[in-house]
Structures are given as C-alpha cells and as structure tokens.
C-alpha cells in the first residue's frame, strides 16, 4: 500500500494513524492502550453530566429536522439540524 502524506488523508485515515501510533508507543513503554484511555476519559466525563435533554427529530425530504423540546433553559435552542447551547452550536449532518 503506497504511503500517503498527512495532507492527503481523510479524517478516518488520520484518526487510525494516530490511534496506531499511540498504541505502538504505549506497548513500548508499558502504558495504557489509547482505546482504554479514551474509554476511561469518556466515562469520567459522563459522570460530570448534571442534566440530560432529549431532542427528537425526523428526516423530511432527506433533511434532519429536530423538534424543540419544552422546558429548556433560555440558552438552549433547537432548529432544523442545529442545537445551540450558550455560545456553542452543534450541527448534525446525515450521511447516506
């Protein structure tokens, strides 16, 4: 398989390259594998969650349409395929 430059890689290829590098480096020094580290990291982050909001959606003419739930804080807004929380915006894109 010919080698690619970093600038020629897509996201998945770059992510795999980084994961493999971390795993090889960890094996040499006896450290924790990357997948175990990230599993523990996300488990730890999940413990900090104080409140969960459920957002429902449906696909209309091939586009995601999210429904604004009731009882949301003032800085939480949902429209079409976007969720705004304070100064952060999440845009959800569907893949075929």
Q: Which domain holds residue 13?
A: 6-47
Residues 39 and 12 in one domain: yes
Nearest to 81 by CA among 46, 95, 12: 95
* Tally of domains within the chain: 2
Say yes or no: 10 and 43 in one domain.
Answer: yes
Question: Is the residue at 96 inside a domain?
Answer: no
Q: How confident is the model at residue 40 (pLDDT cuts 50, 70, 90)?
A: confident
- Which of these, 42, 40, 35, lies nearest to 18 by C-alpha position? 35
Residues found in the chain: 96
Q: What is the pLDDT of residues 10-38, one digit of tens each?
A: 888 888 888 888 777 766 666 677 788 88
Same domain, 61 and 79: yes
* Residue at token pair 């003419």: 61
The model's pTM is 0.48
Q: Cα separation of 15 and 47, whole Å?
A: 26
Q: Which tens digits make up the pLDDT trace of 47-68?
A: 888 888 888 999 998 889 998 8
């Amino acid at each position: 398989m010919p080698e690619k430059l970093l600038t020629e890689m897509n996201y998945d290829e770059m992510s795999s390259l980084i994961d493999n590098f971390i795993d090889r480096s960890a094996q040499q020094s006896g450290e924790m594998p990357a997948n175990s580290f990230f599993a523990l990291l996300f488990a730890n982050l999940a413990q900090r969650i104080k409140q969960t909001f459920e957002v429902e959606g449906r696909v209309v003419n091939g586009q995601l349409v999210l429904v604004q739930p009731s009882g949301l804080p003032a800085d939480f807004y949902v429209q079409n395929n976007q969720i705004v929380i304070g100064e952060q915006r999440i845009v959800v894109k569907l893949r075929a």
